Amino acid sequence: MDTPPVVYSLTILAAPAIRILIREKLKDGCLPYDSMPRFWARRPGNEEICDACDLRIEKTQLVMAGIASKISDKKPVQFHVVCFQLWDHERCEALN
């Protein structure tokens, strides 16, 4: 069995801190509250920066990217898979 990438493991361990960061970014407008009706997963990462945790998405990792449902001039958001799940949970919690 392959060992998960170090960044992925650190992301899981850092989930409480990343949740706080995501909440702050939602409030500041740096992350969308909107759903992403269109998103895609691609591999490999190209060392882009995750919009949730601000860590690099390594070439060994899957990238989750999408465009928020509101029309904007912003680039698509990019996440580690775990960060995407945390963002989706936090934005739904904030809307309730």
pLDDT value of position 36: 81
CA 28 – CA 70 distance, rounded (Å): 16
Residue 3 binned pLDDT confidence (cut-offs 50, 70, 90): very low
Q: What's the pLDDT tens digit per position in 79-96?
A: 999 999 999 999 998 888
| Two tokens, residue 63 | 């990238």
Residue where the block lists tokens 């069995």:
1
| pLDDT given for residue 67 in this prediction | 84
Calculate ∠ Cα 1-40-59, nearest 5°: 45
pLDDT in tens, 31-68: 988 878 788 888 788 899 999 999 999 998 999 998 87
Entry pTM: 0.79
Are 26 and 90 spatial neighbours (Cβ–Cβ below 8 Å)? Answer: yes
